[in-house]
Structure 1
Amino acid sequence: MPTVYFAHGKESGPWGSKILALADVARSKGIEVVSPDYSDLADPDERVKRLLEIWNGSQDTTVLVGSSMGGYVSAVASSVIKPAGLFLMAPAFFIPGYAAQEPPPCADRTTIVHGWNDDIVPVEHSIRFARKFRAELHLLDSDHRLNDQIPTLTILFGQMLNNIIEELLK
């Protein structure tokens, strides 16, 4: 079974409402969940280093999930981890000062969810990224946090996990 690694956003923590809900979905499928605390690191690339240290070359199937800055962290780390899935919520792409402006998603499947009313990371950034890398994209009537869309996020995440599990069982 896969292991899911979460990467929370800049102003969030390892067990915010979205991560709790998505972790429940993963656990209901027998999937292990790891949610490191990055709140002591302001630099997104230092967060990438921490994620790679925690992952430590695991041979298990990996799924990376990230929100906002955590979306950036997950996407950058995907170049090393090569996860089965990359689930990104309002990912912080094309942000001035970040080392990688559009880190290529190195995953078997990539899903991006973004709110039309995001005033932190413009929705156009996810549209541009998804178009370039042919990622699955869901645009919702929500803001940056997507907290009012948790039921939809759990459905989309559950679908991704089901597809990954099906592939593993082949």
Structure 2
Amino acid sequence: MSTSVYFAHGKESGPWGYKITALAELARRRGLAVESPDFRFTYDADERVRYLLSLNPPRGNALVLVGSSMGGYVTSVASRTLNPRGLFLIAPALLMPGYQVDTPPCASLVEIVHGWADEVIPVEHSWRFAQQHRVRLHVLDGNHTLNVHLPRLERLFENFLDELQL
């Protein structure tokens, strides 16, 4: 069975934004299937979780989830049902009002990338989440989008996929 990478975009971005497009290309070059659902029909994060689950993505070792901002919350919550091989979170909306995750993420490997100067989601939220759940955290000198750090983000994602042996 081949592995699929499912991306979940942020609240006000779209399924094929700058970061997702770049990371999806890296995944495709490795022979991984790529999906990036369009969640723009709602701003309700929990409705986005339900929608992602309704798409019936593969489970377990056949799945890697990548979430950015609100999509980080969506994929983290969905990981409890899908039990993916990996969970890669970019400036995730965790520990924010309305974005409480009561259970730890469930994946063989979990990594978070966040910007020190994030003006939307304080980096302290990722720090606390990473410490609480003992997951790897990379903090870059950037803002919420981390677009200026795309080459570094790509290297981190490639290393993540390497560690998953994909």
Aligned to 1:88: 89
Contact 2:61–2:85, Cα closer than 8 Å, also in 1: no
Contact 2:57–2:63, Cα closer than 8 Å, also in 1: no
Aligned to 1:12: 13
SS of residue matched to 2:38: coil
User: Alignment RMSD, CA only?
Assistant: 1.4
Ranges in structure 2 where 5+ consecutive residues have no aligned partner = none
1:8-157 correspondence to structure 2 within 5 Å: 8-56=9-57, 58=59, 61-98=62-99, 100-157=100-157
SS of residue matched to 2:165: helix
Contact 2:72–2:92, Cα closer than 8 Å, also in 1: yes
Letter in 1 for 2:126: S
CA distance in 2, matches of 1:9, 1:59: 24
Contact 1:95–1:101, Cα closer than 8 Å, also in 2: no
Shift in alpha-carbon separation, 1:129–1:59, aligned structure 2, 3 A: closer
Question: How many residue pairs were aligned?
Answer: 165
Letter in 1 for 2:84: P
Ranges in structure 1 where 5+ consecutive residues have no aligned partner = none
Deviation (angstroms), 1:56:
4.6
Q: Which moved more, 1:89-98 or 1:12-21?
A: 89-98
Shift in alpha-carbon separation, 1:104–1:90, aligned structure 2, 3 A: same
**Normalising by structure 1, what TM-score?**
0.92
CA distance in 1, matches of 2:102, 2:13: 22
Contact 2:4–2:58, Cα closer than 8 Å, also in 1: no
